[in-house]
Amino acid sequence: MKLIAGLGNPGPRYADSRHNIGFWVVDELARRWRSDLSRYEARFEGLVGQAQRGDTAVLLLKPTTFMNLSGRSVGAVTRFYKLQHADLLVVYDDLDLPVGQLRLRAGGSSGGHKGMEDVLRNLGGEDVARIRIGIGKVHRAATVGHVLGRFAPDERPLIDAAVTAAADAAECWLARGIAAAMNEFNRKARAGGGSGDDPAARAAEGDAP
């Protein structure tokens, strides 16, 4: 069994915010796979869907704990199904990547992302594959308003394409593993221009409570 978790904040207030792009990718996978992602599981504190992809059962998860406590939900699912870190893929927004750019990693720190930080804390390790999607950087004082705000109309084509590409990357991870997905989709991102992945430039971000 594999788990793909998209991070975001629950409820209509946050549904269209930049911070919820992880949810959008999981929604896209649910659409493709005709998986019902509307079922709330109290024991997991999240919306859970299931699909069968070849010989592999896949769980889709949208935590409803609010971003900063995402690990509580992801950890509960991981422990219940006795999943290994290699069975997990997390999708979330990234302030330090240009709008719409993807960056896949096989592990590493949270880079200041509070939701991913909580996931790693709950799982007890950093060897968790992830897909980060750029939402653009602003001055630190404006971070909270930025991540909880909506994309501008001229950004939407980039974001729509990014959601599609991230879902493609998740399917690649599922079929061929994180190394193959990194090789294919990070190369495409570089070809699009701009690395956007300078660790020294990463900053702590604000999150909804």
CATH number at residue 78: 3.40.50.1470
Report how many domains make up the chain.
1
Mark whether 19 is an active-site residue.
yes
In a domain, residue 193? The reply is yes
Query: Sign of dihedral through CA atoms 30, 1, 21, 13?
Result: positive
pLDDT for 153: 95
Please answer whether residues 170 and 111 qualify as being in contact, where contact means their C-beta atoms are separated by less than 8 angstroms.
no
In a domain, residue 209? The reply is no
Domain containing 76 equals 2-201
Using CA atoms, how far apart are residues 83 and 74, in angstroms rounded to an integer? 11
3-class SS at 46?
strand
> How high does pLDDT run on average in the chain?
90
pLDDT in tens, 57-86: 999 999 999 999 999 999 999 999 999 999
| Torsion angles phi and psi, residue 98, rounded to 5 | -60, 155
19, 85, 139, 146: the catalytic one is: 19
Range in 10-14, 95-99, 141-145, 186-190 with the lowest mean pLDDT: 141-145
Does the structure show a pLDDT above 90 at 175? yes
Please answer whether residues 173 and 89 qualify as being in contact, where contact means their C-beta atoms are separated by less than 8 angstroms.
yes
Q: Write down the pTM of the prediction.
A: 0.89
